[in-house]
Structures are given as C-alpha cells and as structure tokens.
C-alpha cells in the first residue's frame, strides 16, 4: 500500500518527499483541484518519487478534461487524476475513454486515475461502484474514491470497511488498482491496511487535521511508518 501525499506548492512538497507518491493539486479549487503546470514540473524535478497531478473535479466536459490531462502529462506527471462530478454511465465511459486517450496516445506508460466520490449523493455524481467497471472498460488504470465536499466528513462516514474491501477486490478482478482518499485520519490507517488498496491519498492528516494548513514533515513520516 503506497502513501500519496498532496502538497499544494513546490515549497510544501519538500516536506512530503518521504511519501511514496507526491501528488500535485490545488486544494482551494476543490477535492481534485488542478494546480499549475509549472508547479507539476518543478515538483517533478525535485522528486525521485513518482509524481501525480489532479486535473480537476469535472462536469461532463471531455474536451476540457482531455486537454488538462495531456497538459499534466506533458508537465511531467506520472499519474493523471481526474474527478467525475457528473452522473450517467454512458457519459462516464466517453469521458474516461477520452481522458485516457489524451494521455496514452503520447505517454502510454503514464497512469490514468478515474475518481468518483463516496458522497456522490451530495453532488449528484456517479457512484464509485458504477464508475469502476466503466473505468476498466475505458482503459484507465486506477479507480479512486475521494470525498467531493470537504466539510469534516471523511471516507468512512459514507462507506464502511466491507464496502471498501468489496470495491478494492472487484477492482482487482477488473484489472484496476484502487486508490482511497477522503479526509482520512491516522486512526483510519489500521482499517485501511486490512482493506489493502494499492494507494491511499492524504493531505489534511499530514497537515495536523486542517487541509488548508501546511504539510508537516514529521506527520508524513509518521503516516509512512504506520503504513509500513
């Protein structure tokens, strides 16, 4: 299980370098808010670890999402992560297929992460359980669950251990890896290790509980020790 930590700047990324994956995003622009391409490039140049980049919480805008995905890949991201903030299985297939093509036609080695939300009912978006098989069919590499609304409620407020274990198991059968995130706390790590997704994503946890604060290096190291 790899720990993905999400700094919002190159300066903040220096405190996250002990994580397995450095994830570039802009928390002020949403759950999967996109940061600037030069920030992706700067963090890629400083990190020996894989770099992930969020490209946004998207409505059904496959053209815009595809441009953003290609831009993040060109800027150096190894993982390109997009949130589906809309409903409809046919739309989801078209969207993930187009985003995946935008990355893979030039960078076949790069990893596309399709994310849906544990609190999908609060934002009228597709369920993660409906999204994952569509992501596999559309050629993505990772199915992710995050939370769309950052109001203190976390992943386990919406989905329990059994549901998350089933999601992870089903993804492996589909040939997908699993990423789990959503206002996770240190107390959640014991349960997450039992579920054993390939990736867990954190920010608030390593900022002392406030995702708008600055990442603390000692908390990243604490999380890494607990994950291991």
CB 148 within 8 A of CB 184: no
Strands (E), the chain: 2-5, 21-24, 51-58, 79-84, 111-117, 142-146, 177-180, 199-202
Residue 25 annotated as catalytic: yes
Q: Sign of torsion, CA 63 77 100 149? A: negative
Instruction: Enter the pTM of the model.
Output: 0.97
According to the model, what pLDDT value does residue 212 have?
86
DSSP state of 151: S
According to the model, what pLDDT value does residue 210 have?
87
Q: Name the catalytic one among 44, 81, 85, 104.
A: 81
Residue 49 annotated as catalytic: no
75 to each of 20, 40, 42, 66, 216, how far by Cα in Å? 20, 6, 9, 14, 26
According to the model, what pLDDT value does residue 103 have?
98
Please give the Cα distance from 103 to 82 (Å, whole number).
12
According to the model, what pLDDT value does residue 152 have?
86
pLDDT < 70 regions, the chain = none
**Strand-pair category, 51-58 with 2-5:** unpaired
- Among residues 179, 87, 166, which one has the least CA distance to residue 134? 87
Q: Name the catalytic one among 25, 49, 85, 177.
A: 25
Q: Sign of torsion, CA 8 13 17 23? A: positive
According to the model, what pLDDT value does residue 211 have?
87
Structure tokens at 190: 């014991």
49 to each of 62, 71, 76, 78, 204, how far by Cα in Å? 29, 20, 12, 10, 21
Neighbours of 228 (CB within 10 A): 9
* Domains of the chain and any CATH numbers: 2-227 (3.20.20.70)
According to the model, what pLDDT value does residue 187 have?
96
């Amino acid at each position: 299980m790899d720990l993905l930590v999400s700094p919002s700047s190159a300066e903040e990324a220096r405190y996250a370098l002990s994580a397995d994956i450095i994830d570039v995003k802009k928390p002020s622009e949403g759950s999967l808010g996109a940061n600037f391409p030069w920030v992706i490039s700067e963090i890629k140049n400083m990190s020996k670890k894989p770099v992930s980049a969020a490209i946004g919480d998207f409505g059904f805008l496959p053209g815009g999402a595809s441009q953003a995905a290609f831009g993040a890949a060109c800027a150096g991201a190894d993982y390109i992560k997009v949130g589906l903030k809309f409903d409809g299985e046919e739309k989801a297939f078209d969207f993930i297929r187009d985003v995946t093509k935008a990355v893979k036609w030039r960078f076949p080695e790069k990893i596309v992460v399709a994310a849906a939300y544990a609190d999908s009912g609060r934002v009228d978006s597709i369920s993660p359980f409906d999204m994952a098989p569509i992501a596999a069919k559309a050629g993505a590499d990772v199915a992710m669950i995050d939370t769309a609304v950052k109001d203190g409620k976390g992943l386990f407020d919406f989905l329990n251990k059994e549901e998350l274990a089933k999601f992870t198991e089903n993804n492996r059968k589909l040939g997908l890896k699993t990423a789990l995130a959503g206002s996770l706390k240190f107390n959640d790590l014991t349960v997450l290790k039992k579920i054993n997704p390939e990736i867990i994503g954190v920010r608030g946890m390593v900022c002392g509980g406030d995702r708008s604060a600055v990442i603390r290096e000692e908390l990243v190291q604490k999380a890494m020790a607990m994950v291991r």
